[in-house]
Amino acid sequence: MDRPAPPPYSGYPPGPPGPPPVQVTHVVPGAVIIQHQIVGPDSTLITCRSCHQSVITRIDRRPSTRTHVIALLLCLFGFWPCVCLPYCMDSCLNTDHYCTNCGAFIGTYIG
């Protein structure tokens, strides 16, 4: 009968089995804690990271690399009359969110 090989010796005795270490978070009084906020395809009520005001975001839709690839594929497969469709559909465009108070960039929703 073959025995399994013993684990390599590290020079230290094995520690007691137990729960995994716990991460502790210290909160400093008076500190501002900013959480990551998720933006969607439409204007969103959000707290701006720059001016710390609650605002409804201003959105700008712009084409992305994915939009251009879809248009190229439509052209390559003979659907060239439909090439403009990805540029007209909100689901094919990225949505950039900006603060209406200070104009700061909030985030991008990739549709």
For the stretch 81-88, contacts whose Cβ atoms lie closer than 8 Å and that sit 24 or more positions apart, written own/partner, are 87/63
Please state the domain count of the chain.
1
User: Is 86 part of any domain?
Assistant: yes
Q: Average pLDDT, stretch 83-88?
A: 93
User: Is 40 part of any domain?
Assistant: no
User: Is 91 part of any domain?
Assistant: yes
Radius of gyration of the chain (CA): 26
The parent domain of residue 106 ranges over 45-110
User: Is 105 part of any domain?
Assistant: yes
Question: 85 pLDDT exceeds 70?
Answer: yes
Q: How far apart are CA 55 and CA 102, in angstroms?
A: 10
Dihedral over Cα of 45, 46, 52, 58: its sign: negative
User: Is 106 part of any domain?
Assistant: yes
Query: Which pair of tokens denotes residue 74?
Result: 């439509």
Q: How would residue 28 be classed by pLDDT, with cut points 50, 70 and 90?
A: low
User: Is 98 part of any domain?
Assistant: yes
- 29-63 pLDDT, tens per residue? 665 555 566 888 999 898 998 999 999 999 999 99
User: Is 94 part of any domain?
Assistant: yes
Instruction: Fill in the DSSP letter of residue 91.
Output: G
User: Is 2 part of any domain?
Assistant: no
Q: What angle do CA 97, 99, 102 make, to 5 degrees?
A: 145
Token look-up 């540029």 returns 87
pTM, rounded to two decimals: 0.63
Question: 106 pLDDT exceeds 70?
Answer: yes
Q: How far apart are CA 74 and CA 97, in angstroms?
A: 29
